[in-house]
A and B are shown apart, each in its own frame.
Chain A
Amino acid sequence: MGAQPMTRLNALVLVGALCVLAGLFSPWVTISTENSLTPIASSVGLEQIENASWAQFLLVAMLFFVLSGTLLRPLVMALLVILLSLGGACIALIVLKYARAQGLTGLAQYGFWLVLVGELLITMGVVGRLATMPSSDRVTQALQKYIPPMVVPPIIFLIWESVIDGLRVPMAFFPSISDILSVLLTSSAVLWKDSLHTFFQQMFFGYVLGALVGLGLAMMIALSPFLRRGFLPLATAFSSIPVVGLAPVLGRAFGIDWESKAVVAAIVTFFPIVINVVQGLTAVQSLQMDLMQSYAANRWEIFRKLRFPHALPYFFSALKITSIVSLISVIVAEFLIPGPPQGLGQRISLSARSGRYDITFAAIAFASVFGILFYSLMALLERVFAPWHSSSRTKKK
């Protein structure tokens, strides 16, 4: 394996390290936002923040480590550096929170930003190096695949929280991660109830209904060429229609309670299921059909042994897609059908209107989690019932 040290100073890492050094000895926080006329004069450096001198030591020590770098195997080095630099950025944020607690409520100064940005640059530089270095063994290749995406959320959260806190952005303008987390901790019971209403009562019901009806209709269409010619152009046309536009109409027809939103979910599920299952039932290779016919199988046997199993992967693929789409449709339908204030969509809409964006984001987080869980459930069912479905592999070139 090549003996190149991982932390050979590529430009990003160098610049990042310089930034951190500079930031450690620069002003960090202004005392309060009222003194906006002379911000620099009334700002405070790292040494002056109580209990924060340990941070200075730590950060300098980490820098040393980063810059030395020939002692360990390059791969381990890379991982360590990533952890340390992310940690350094966290430390900067923690110090800022310390400062806030001590009454330094002004804007964050360039000292803080330099350290934050510097650490993040180091992270990005090392990750970039890691991802592009020639790899030969499985461990390295796996790390190359998984480390870059895993680094992204911490970076985003660090930047988000720093910007909101450092620039003193009010919660009414945009919530910070800590705001959202606090909502999640305190109001999760309410959000859970909303989720049950949206998810289980409205979405799930409609989803199952749409899938079953779609499955039945698809079988009928597949058996009749006439119906196929009539339906398929319609079905592809329907996929370009914003079905949620029907929501107000359905709200009138079925009442403003959960039924109308369930119908929206059913309709949104119905079309992709029909299209995919019809395709699955009919796109059987002619050779496979010839084989069946050489066994003198009748139509029912052909259906049972060839068409139906062939269609299962298509069915599950459609189920996966529509699981997400129907959840989103139900939420949007809740926007459009003014009903009782229950459900995630209503929660999002109401909280956004009253400026409680932290609740909005928390609700969206709930919705995403449910969406992912549901999608995974469908993927699991696919693996159980249609494990032979081959996914395409693209070569990375």
Chain B
Amino acid sequence: MNAPIIAVKGVHKIFKTRGNTPLSVLQDVNLSIAEGEFVTFIGPSGCGKTTLLRLIADLEEITSGAIDVKEKTPKQARLDRDYGYVFQSPVLYEWRTVEQNVLLPLEVMQVPKSEREPRAQQMLALVGLKEFTRHYPWQLSGGMQQRVSIARALSFSPSILLMDEPFGALDEITREQLQLELLNIQNTLKTSILFVTHSIPEAVFLSTRTIVMSPRPGRIQEIIEIDLPRPRTVETRELSKFFELSTRVRESLRTMGAH
């Protein structure tokens, strides 16, 4: 059995606030993620899902406990550029063209110059934006911008992709389109993906496992295996299994208050 690509062990996260009592955002979180998985995190506001993602990405400090990313500390994983992060908003740099935005991580990581452009082109082709390389971000729609941000996150071929509600600001139609594209990408690149969402159908459609988290303090409430057939297609949404799993997730969310 392979070692998990990400192991979260007894992690607590406490935020110190001014003057008031400290806020416990995550409490005793334990989790193991295998390579190639697509794991979604779902839960109401304040359940710490974004914080967990940021802890794995070494964008926040763990209060106690440990996280192993590819058997390294999050900091080391960050320094080794093992993951790509996709934020809720595209966070494109307005002064760079689409292509230049995708090139950004390659420049920072000092990838050899001869490799940079081919990779960027490849990623943009993957997300279907090959004709827009010279455009500026404000000239693209929200969905297209988010695709650029995904291309950028993948441009340096990280083994892990961390995505924080990337499709939250988009309309339903675009969202479903992008979901399919994301799955295709994962199929091609075999990336492990951690995905935070608010949407139950999205969680069920995309993931191999859905982790339901509850708030105050944030912890894992339930882990639901999504054993829908792969590769997922448009028809997958119409399966009765899909409906069942969605209901399970919904139930889990609804009974949160009783615990």
List residues of chain A with CB under 8 Å of any chain B CB.
136, 138
Min Cβ gap B171→A in Å is 23
Say whether B254 faces chain A, with CB atoms less than 8 Å apart: no
B190 to chain A, nearest CB (A): 35
User: Which B residues touch A138, using CB under 8 A?
Assistant: 18-19
Q: In the complex, what residues of A have CB within 8 A of residue B16's CB? A: 136
Nearest first, the 3 A-B pairs at minimum CB distance are A136-B16, A138-B18, A138-B19
CA distance A165 to B18 in the complex (A): 48
Q: Measured between alpha carbons, how far is A138 from B19 in the docked complex, in Å?
A: 8
Bound CA–CA A138/B16 (angstroms): 12
Contact partners of B18 in chain A: CB under 8 A: 138
CB distance from A106 to the nearest CB of B (A): 56
3 contacts between A and B (CB under 8 A): A136-B16, A138-B18, A138-B19
> How far, in whole Å, are A164 and B181 apart by their CA atoms in the complex?
73
Q: For the complex, give the distance between the alpha carbons of A354 and B19 in Å.
A: 58
Q: Interface code B1-33, partner A: CB below 8 Å = 1, 0 otherwise?
A: 000000000000000101100000000000000
Total contacting residues, chain B, CB less than 8 A:
3
- Which B residues lie within 8 Å of A136 (CB)? 16
Distance, CA A136 to CA B14, complexed state (A): 13
Query: What does DSSP make chain B's interface, helix, strand, loop or mixed?
Result: loop
Bound-state CA distance A136–B63 (Å) is 14
Whole-angstrom CA separation of A165 from B16 in the bound complex:
51
CB distance from A229 to the nearest CB of B (A): 27
Cα of A136 to Cα of B16 in the assembled complex, Å: 8
CA of A257 to CA of B18 in the docked complex: distance in angstroms?
57
Within the complex, the shortest CB–CB distance from B254 to chain A, in Å, comes to 36
The minimal Cβ–Cβ distance linking B211 to chain A, given in whole angstroms, is: 31
Q: How far is the CA of A136 from the CA of B19 in the complex (A)?
A: 10
Give Cα A138 to B18, complex, Å. Answer: 7
Question: Of all chain A residues, which has the CB nearest B18?
Answer: A138
What residue of chain A has the Cβ atom nearest to residue B19's Cβ? Answer: A138
Distance between B87 CB and nearest chain A CB, rounded to angstroms: 16
Q: Considering the complex, which residues of chain B in the window 14-57 have a beta carbon less than 8 Å from any beta carbon of chain A?
A: 16, 18-19
Q: B166 to nearest A CB, angstroms?
A: 23
Complex Cα distance, B23 from A229, in Å, reads 53
Q: Distance (Å) between the CB of B54 and the closest chain A CB? A: 15
A147 → chain B, closest Cβ, in Å?
20
Q: Name the residue of chain B whose CB is nearest to the CB of A136.
A: B16
CA–CA, A136 to B18, complex, Å? 9
CB distance from A393 to the nearest CB of B (A): 14
Contact with A along B147-185 (1 / 0, CB 8 A): 000000000000000000000000000000000000000
Closest partner residue, chain B, to A141 (CB atom): B18
How many Å from the CB of B17 to the closest CB on chain A?
A: 11
B residues 165-223 with Cβ under 8 Å of A?
none
Q: In the assembled complex, which residues on chain A have CB atoms less than 8 Å from the CB atom of B19?
A: 138
Provide the bound-state CA to CA distance between A296 and B16, in Å. Answer: 49
- Give chain B interface residues in 219-245, CB to chain A under 8 Å: none
- Tell me the bound Cα distance from A250 to B147 in angstroms: 63
Chain A nearest Cβ from B173, distance in angstroms: 29
The chain A residue with its CB closest to the CB of B16 is: A136
Kindly state the separation between the CA atoms of A267 and B18 in the bound complex, as whole angstroms: 47
A136 CA / B15 CA spacing, docked (Å): 11
In whole Å, how far is A136's beta carbon from the nearest beta carbon of chain B? Answer: 6
Q: How far is the CB of B160 from chain A (nearest CB, A)?
A: 25
B101-128: which have CB < 8 Å to A? none
Give the docked Cα–Cα distance between A386 and B16 (Å): 33
How far in angstroms is the closest Cβ of chain A from B89? 17
- Smallest beta-carbon distance A144→chain B, Å: 14
Q: B102 CB to closest chain A CB, in angstroms?
A: 25
